[in-house]
Chains A and B, each alone.
Chain A
Amino acid sequence: MTEKARRSSGRRELEELIQTCISIENRRFNPFLLDITEALRIIRRHSNQLRTLDDHLLDMRAITSVARVVGLQSANLRFQSSALFVDPSMVQQKLGSLSREQLAEFLLLSWHPIVELEQLTLSSTKEAKEFWEGMLSFFERRKRLHLGPFVSPDSADFGELARMRVVEEKAYTRKMQDLWKELKESAEKDGRVDYWNFVRGSDFAETIARAQLVSFLVTYGYANLQRKGNSLLLVPKARPDPHTEGSPLSFPIPITKEVLIRAK
């Protein structure tokens, strides 16, 4: 083998050794996986082929990497002899089998929370005052954001806020009462009304809102929901009759645009 080939193979071996050491440092392998005697033998074998600065740096990196692994082996031995040593695979198995309540209880039995209080101090108050005084005015800061001409704040009345959906025009209970009244009127003839015909609003958003209100009407006993074949029927009650006994049945109704089109 030529000297060049020998040097190239030596570099490769050292690089592989460094990579192994890095993997061990990153907890991918057990530190005892590396045979230190063999690692030192590799470093020693290539020590007479060091020519350039890069070769020497590589050699130095290999030595320090091996030294770190020796340190990890030492820490590992100290850890294994301490009370904290538990096999990681056993811990993972235990964690998988224990309930959340049990784990929480174990933590609580070993937990002594720190008592800490937060307060204003003279120095923090001073700092806040200096910050406030040093702060640019609102208009100066606004200029930096390039937001264009400043529009003065304006007042908005209740109706406008309701249109913007910031506030509700009617209280929820009132809305429910109105819808219950509407349901009773719609069902005057047959005593019941088709669910989809009743919840359908002028647009999809309104339909969703009506369906939600209807779900509350049924939950609170203002109406009954009956299923006959493929159709759903709403039967209003003269008086609200909340279900006090037994467990209520949850009945999800998906609202898709296709369903609404079919109901038209």
Chain B
Amino acid sequence: MLFFKRGRVPGARSWELKTGLGKGYTKVLEQLDESLKDLDLEVKKVEPQTLSDYKPGPDDGEEESRYFVRLKGTLAPKEARLCGWRIDNLAALAAALALVVSKQGRSERKELETVIGNKAGRWRALTLMDTFLRSGYLEEDEEGLVKLGWRTRAELDLPSLMMLLAESKAPSAESSEPVEEDQASIEG
């Protein structure tokens, strides 16, 4: 149930697991988590709204948690490339997430496109934004503001990302120059 993708989003909701495994499903998940350690995997529980924002309405807190299986460790750049990720796409995602987090979980799409554009080129910024929205790293709300998506809540350790960013030091001026248009690709 956790591994196989049913529909658009992978993982399983808590009620699905409860139906399939019974009331003690959390114990089963703990055991599974223990067994997955050897494979450098873990079970991750994602609350409906990790980055809480004020949201009036009767639906508050009624959504169910979702469980995923994710990599326990992290990927090396080479491994990420093997998974089909380009360096500039990763950089663009990091920039977009950092900006949204710094703005308390919501930011204007145009602002994000500008920030991504400085790292990946203006035209790629548009397609990358669509990709991030489609894959669930970002979500667009009814007011047109971009917020963190379900995949970010499941896959990213945001405090660690923000900490790394806050502690970072800029490299030499040569490599930090913004890219011109579509010259951002590191590899084909």
Contacts and interface: CB of A to CB of B under 8 A. Distances in A.
Contacts of A107: 90-91, 93-94, 97, 156, 161
Interface string A86-114: 11101110111111111111111111111
A25 B163 CA distance: 27
Contacts of B72: 112
Given A76-B104, A115-B3, A108 B70 contact: no
B165 A91 contact: yes
B178 interface: yes
Given A94-B165, A94-B166, A100-B91, A114 B54 contact: no
A126 B94 CA distance: 41
B44 interface: yes
A110 B168 CA distance: 14
Interface in A53-86: 64, 67-68, 71-72, 74-76, 78-79, 83-84, 86
A119 interface: yes
Contact of B104 (A79, A103, A104, A119): A79
Most buried by A among B72, B157, B161: B161
Contacts of B59: none
Contact of B162 (A71, A84, A115): A84
B70 A115 contact: yes
Given A115-B41, A115-B70, A119-B4, A110 B102 contact: no
Most buried by A among B77, B115, B170: B170
Majority secondary structure of chain A interface residues (helix, strand, loop or mixed): helix
B72 to A, nearest CB: 7
B165 A86 contact: yes
B130 to A, nearest CB: 19
B71 A75 contact: no
Nearest to B115: A95
A67 B91 contact: no
Interface residues of B, number: 73
Interface string B41-54: 11010000001111
A165 B68 CA distance: 50
Contact of B54 (A68, A94, A95): A68
Contacts of A64: 56
Interface string B68-105: 11111111110010010001101101110111011111
A99 B99 contact: no
Contact of A110 (B6, B115, B145, B156): B156
Contacts of A202: none
Given A112-B155, A113-B71, A117-B3, A103 B94 contact: yes
A27 interface: yes
A79 to B, nearest CB: 5
Contact of B69 (A25, A84, A109, A114): A114
A101 to B, nearest CB: 6
A108 B118 CA distance: 20
Interface in A165-205: none
Given A92-B115, A99-B176, A108 B74 contact: yes
25 contacts: A26-B143, A26-B145, A68-B56, A71-B54, A72-B54, A90-B102, A91-B165, A94-B98, A96-B118, A97-B176, A99-B171, A100-B88, A100-B184, A104-B94, A106-B165, A107-B94, A108-B76, A109-B74, A110-B161, A113-B75, A113-B83, A114-B11, A115-B69, A117-B3, A119-B5
Interface of B: 3-6, 10-11, 41-42, 44, 51-56, 68-77, 80, 83, 87-88, 90-91, 93-95, 97-99, 101-108, 115, 118-120, 143, 145, 151, 154-166, 168, 170-171, 175-176, 178, 184, 186
9 A-B pairs with the lowest CB-CB distances in the bound complex, closest first: A71-B54, A97-B170, A116-B10, A104-B90, A103-B91, A107-B94, A100-B91, A110-B161, A91-B102
Given A27-B106, A71-B54, A107-B97, 11 more contacts: A75-B53, A75-B104, A84-B51, A96-B118, A101-B91, A101-B175, A107-B91, A107-B161, A114-B70, A115-B70, A117-B5
